[in-house]
Each structure stands twice: as C-alpha cells, then as structure tokens.
Amino acid sequence: MTALDKGEAVLAQTLVGAPEGSGPGGSLSFGNVTVPVGAIAPDDVVGWSEMLVNREVGRRLGITDERYLLAFADPAMTLPHFTTDVRSLLPAGSYLRTVPPGGTRFVRVASGVNPRS
C-alpha cells in the first residue's frame, strides 16, 4: 500500500520552507487538519508540485477542484483515442487537455512557466 493509499502526503524532494520534522513519519497541519507524511519523491515524479494527497485528504483540506490526472496508457494507444476515453469519464462541458509523454516538461497549473531551479 502506498503513502497516498494510506491517506498520507507525498512531499517534493526540494519542498521550499518545509518545517523541521516534516519528512516521513512527521506530519503537516493545515488549520484543524493534520496530514501524516508518508514519502518524499523527486520533484519531477510529483509534477513539480510541493505536496500530493489523495482525494479524501484533499476534500478534508478544502480542495474542491480536481486538476490533474497522471495516467499511463498502453504504448500503442494514440493520443486522440486516449483523449476520447478520458473525456467519456468526465461530466459534460468539462475542460480537458491531454499531453503525450514529454509534451510538457512540468505538469502544473502554469505548465508553460518553469519552476524554481
């Protein structure tokens, strides 16, 4: 079972301003919600985000918009086919942008803006 499966946070390796003791086994508090930290991952693995949590933890933190789906498809699947399959899972009128592997260097809200070095 992974840290995300267990409701734990996964932090970026170079998290800016990480409080002392916030590594695996530690925790981070946001108001009245405390999230245990289960893992540290390389920045590129977490899409240059500072912290990943699962949906249930995100809801407890007040996150209401699901912004990203990081998915791997069969190498033979075309981008248009993948896009059609994913679109069929979304509510009508949802915005969807699909990018093939390597199509964007950083997966984030402003994917055209490079993160800190």
Q: How many CB atoms lie within 10 A of CB 111?
A: 16
**Which residue would you say has higher pLDDT here, 45 or 60?**
60
Nearest C-alpha neighbor of 108 from the set 38, 47, 22, 44:
47
Q: What residue type is assigned to position 45 of the chain?
A: V
pLDDT reported for residue 104: 67
* Residue 111 confidence (pLDDT) above 80: no
Radius of gyration of the chain (CA): 16
Average pLDDT, the chain: 82
Do the beta carbons of residue 27 and residue 34 sit within 8 Å? yes
The proportion of the chain whose per-residue pLDDT surpasses 70, expressed as a percent, equals: 81
DSSP 19: P
Does 39 score more than 90 pLDDT?
yes
What is the pLDDT, as a whole number, of residue 110?
Answer: 57
